[in-house]
Structure 1
Amino acid sequence: MSSPTSGNQETPQERPPRAPRSPASALFRRLFLFNGLVFATGLTTLALSPATVSSPVLLNELPILAVGLAAMLTANALVLRTSLAPLGALTVLMERVDLVRSSDRIPSSGNGDLVNLLDTFNAMLDRLEAERSSSAAHALAAQEGERQRIARELHDEIGQSLTAVLLTLKRVVDRAPEELRDELCAAQETVRASLDEVRRVARRLRPGPLEDLGLISAMNSLATDFSALSGATVTRLLDSRLPQVSGDTELVIYRIAQECLTNIARHARASRVELSLRAEGGAVVLRITDDGVGGPIREGAGIRGMRERAMLIGADLDIESAPTRGTRVRLTVPIPEPVRQPIPDTAGPVADDP
């Protein structure tokens, strides 16, 4: 015989989880309760104290009312100032925040009812920085791929075509009459100069020394090309014993150095440049300084691209420039600590005594 409670036994419906209280409602409740407590305290004090209020109010009663009102206003102002103080820091951060330059955050500890708001704002900045970093990584990867494609086409198609023209002109010069040789030689030199320029452009687009010989050789080649192009003297302080970094990090360092030297050649009118790449503490530091005209920094596409590249590898880019004192660029790339592998236990299990 079955129990009357067996079979289709009804279970009580689970209550939906209560929605968390919003920061606005929490702050309103706190201020409402505190103001109510202040007014209740003042009313109780007035009711239990020997002080009385006449109608109309006498002159000797005005100081008592003024003191009570001042005490309530002071307490109310203190709680409002304490509760709303983080909003000022939040406003300042919202005005200066830059997802490329830095990762400023507001400490949310000890801010009462606004902790949830500040945590949400910090989480929003983290999410936006992650999304921008991801999109910048895809854009820069596409840019590097396009540069390599253009460099291959310049080398394989235009370079080969110019080489064929150069060889043809050489055969023509050998068989040409004397009165035409000067003009043909001039054309031959023009084609040779164009071929050299195509090769230089291809090297700038695709850093062959970086892929084949490493970062230090690529930096030396970059400094040599810059000195030949601009006529400025380049002092090289390149440490050949740099710690091992990833290929992406080496490419970022090379591209930032390339952009800096390009800007110096175009705008600085410098006669001396110092290119330094060394290990300092737990970081690899790239410094590029010049004695050019300096002046205010206008952050165009070039500097913006440098900051985006630095952001991809977690590096810090600092640019200082003063009129007639040149420009100093410093890139600090942190070196990740190596992960220590646990030492395997090769002793094996210990046998129990018989």
Structure 2
Amino acid sequence: MAGSDHGEAARVSLFGRIFLLNALVLVAAAALLVFGPVTVSTPALLREVLVLAAGLVVMLIANAVLIRVGLAPLGRLTRAMTTIDLLKPGPRLAARGHGEIAELITTFNSMIDRLEAERGYSAARALSAQEAERRRVAQELHDEVGQSLTAVLLGLKRVADQSPQDMREELHQVQEITRSTLDEIRRIARRLRPGVLEELGLVSALKALTAETGLTVRQSFDKNLPALDAETELVVYRVAQEGLTNTARHAQADEVELTLRGRPSEVELRLRDNGRGIRDNAEGAGIRGMRERALLVGAELAVGPATPRGTEITLVVKAKEERG
């Protein structure tokens, strides 16, 4: 019964709390006038006016302090609303306060939980569809376009062998252009669908990836890394791929350090370049895509300035037995 009475007391409305705070101050002021030694003459004397003015100031200050304390949780909630980012989960607000304020904070926390869950589900479906589309396009590039260009190369070779000497040089140039195009298509297909990741593992896939960047990449991979499931390995690969792509396109860097470190139950990927750094620029689609992928497997992603200059990307993923 006592618990029920306490619950009813805690459910006083915000209007009721503000009214009670103001009533408390006014009752205290009235009590001082009735039972205090101060009286007001007609007309009022200067001393009496000063006493009443001082009392009014004290009453206003007390009222402001009490209301500020009572509404402080709303200020915290407002700051949380303006700064929250679903791609950067953080601790929830403590449901401090009474009545409607505590209920409002609890409702807000529940709303954020639902939004994060729904965003994670939507992102998982979108990224799964994206990977499936990449596999389809890569397969078509390899099977359709690749084979057609290979047939063109063979036909050009036959024509060149049967052509007069003065035409062979031009045909050989066309052959080289076609061969370069075929190599580029194969490279695009490998980036769309990293077959080496499925066939040879994460370390081999990262080594093959760094060979295509055009940058000087210093690599360091721990031996006997904890086992990762296929989904987590793909996230690590895609984050490294996006990081290296951003570095090559935007960082104005000529050197990148890529490390893969093993911990008892985690694996850490670290990319550090010597470029111009991210400065105060807003995060682009590439970094936000990294964050979405990291959230899918419960990983921690940090993107920030490197020392002494450049950008550093750190991804920490859980080992297979930890996720299981």
TM-score scaled to structure 1, two decimals?
0.80
- Give 1:332 deviation, angstroms: 2.4
Which of structures 1 and 2 has the larger relative contact order (alpha carbons within 8 angstroms, sep 6+)? 2
Amino acid at match of 1:291: N
Q: Does 1:291 align with 2:274?
A: yes
What are the Cα deviations for residues 172-227 of structure 1, in whole angstroms up to 9, with x where unaligned? 3333333332222222222221111111111000000111111111111111222x
Q: Does 1:145 align with 2:132?
A: yes
CA–CA distance in 2 between the matches of 1:292 and 1:35? 60
**Match in the other structure for 1:237:** 220
Range 114-123 or range 174-183, more displaced: 174-183
What are the Cα deviations for residues 13-45 of structure 1, in whole angstroms up to 9, with x where unaligned? xxxxxxx99x99711112212322332233233
1:93-104 superposed matches below 5 A: 93-103=80-90
Bigger Cα Rg: 1
**Match in the other structure for 1:84:** 71
- Give 1:328 deviation, angstroms: 1.5
Kept in 2, the 8 Å contact 1:152–1:202? The answer is yes
Of 250, 253, 268 in structure 2, the residue corresponding to residue 267 of structure 1 is 250
Kept in 1, the 8 Å contact 2:229–2:320? The answer is no
In structure 2, runs of 5+ residues without a counterpart are 1-6
Of 141, 156, 160 in structure 2, the residue corresponding to residue 154 of structure 1 is 141
- Give 1:77 deviation, angstroms: 1.8
SS at match of 1:144: helix
- Give 1:75 deviation, angstroms: 2.8
CA–CA distance in 1 between the matches of 2:101 and 2:282? 37
What are the Cα deviations for residues 215-266 of structure 1, in whole angstroms up to 9, with x where unaligned? 111111111222xxx1x22111112322222221111111111111112222
Q: Does 1:248 align with 2:235?
A: no
Over the aligned positions, Cα root-mean-square deviation in angstroms equals 2.8
SS at match of 2:302: strand
Amino acid at match of 1:267: H
Distance 1:194 1:50, change over 3 A: closer
CA–CA distance in 2 between the matches of 1:49 and 1:325? 70
CA–CA distance in 1 between the matches of 2:255 and 2:171? 40
Q: How many percent of aligned residue pairs carry the same amino acid?
A: 53
Range 148-157 or range 263-272, more displaced: 263-272
TM-score scaled to structure 2, two decimals?
0.87
Q: Does 1:165 align with 2:165?
A: no
- Give 1:130 deviation, angstroms: 1.5
Of 299, 302, 310 in structure 1, the residue corresponding to residue 286 of structure 2 is 302
CA–CA distance in 2 between the matches of 1:223 and 1:209? 13
CA–CA distance in 1 between the matches of 2:144 and 2:132? 18
- Give 1:146 deviation, angstroms: 0.5
